[in-house]
């Protein structure tokens, strides 16, 4: 069972842009090996952190939102605070880099 919410073209505005608080959205695809590498890290963080919401958006199934954010490479983590984009991390990065970005962009 995933602790990260599933974000789609249909619910992105309600789940992310209109949300007051901290959200990290993972832009990913099923065929992307680096995406699968960081998925367990994001699951751990989603289960451990109550201060940040984690979402996953499949770029193949949700092209409108992927295009809206100019997604070029995946995995792409976009950090949102009160619905506004605050920063990005591209690629399969280690857990400490994801956590450092939370501190940098969302605190």
Q: Confirm whether 99 is a catalytic residue.
A: no
Q: Confirm whether 35 is a catalytic residue.
A: yes
Residue in 22, 50, 102, 39 with CA at minimum distance from that of residue 74: 39
Of 35, 59, 101, 102, which one is the catalytic site residue? Answer: 35
Point out which residues pair with 85 in neighbouring strands.
80
Of 7, 16, 32, 102, which one is the catalytic site residue? Answer: 32
Catalytic residue numbers read 32, 35
């Amino acid at each position: 069972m995933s602790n990260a919410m599933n974000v789609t073209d249909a619910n992105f505005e309600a789940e992310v842009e209109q949300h007051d608080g901290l959200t990290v959205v993972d832009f990913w695809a099923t065929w992307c090996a680096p995406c699968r590498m960081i998925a367990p890290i994001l699951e751990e963080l989603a289960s451990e952190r109550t201060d940040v919401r984690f979402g996953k958006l499949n770029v193949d199934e949700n092209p409108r939102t992927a295009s809206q954010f100019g997604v070029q490479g995946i995995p792409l983590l976009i950090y949102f605070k009160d619905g506004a984009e605050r920063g990005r991390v591209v690629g399969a990065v280690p857990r400490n880099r994801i956590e450092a970005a939370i501190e940098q962009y969302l605190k």
